[in-house]
Copies of this chain bind each other. A is one copy, B any other.
Amino acid sequence: MNYTGTIKLKIKSQEISDITDGIEDIVKESGIQNGICNVFVVGSTSAIIINENEPMLVQDLKDSLEKVAPSKEIYHHVENAYSHLRAMYMGSSQTIPVKDGRIVLGTWQSINIANFDVDDREREIVVMIVGD
Using a CB–CB cutoff of 8 Å, the interface residues on chain A facing chain B are 1-2, 4, 34-36, 38, 40, 42-44, 49-52, 54, 56-57, 59-61, 63-64, 68-69, 75-78, 81, 84-85, 87-99, 104-106, 108-109, 126-128, 130-132
Closest 5 pairs (CB-CB, A-B): A97-B128, A56-B76, A57-B77, A56-B77, A42-B106
A90 in contact with B90 (CB, 8 Å): no
With a cutoff of 8 Å between Cβ atoms, the chain B residues found around residue A56 in the complex are 75-78, 81
With a cutoff of 8 Å between Cβ atoms, the chain B residues found around residue A38 in the complex are 36, 95-97
With A44-B106, A68-B64, A109-B44 already in contact, the answer to whether A88 and B88 are too (CB < 8 A) is no
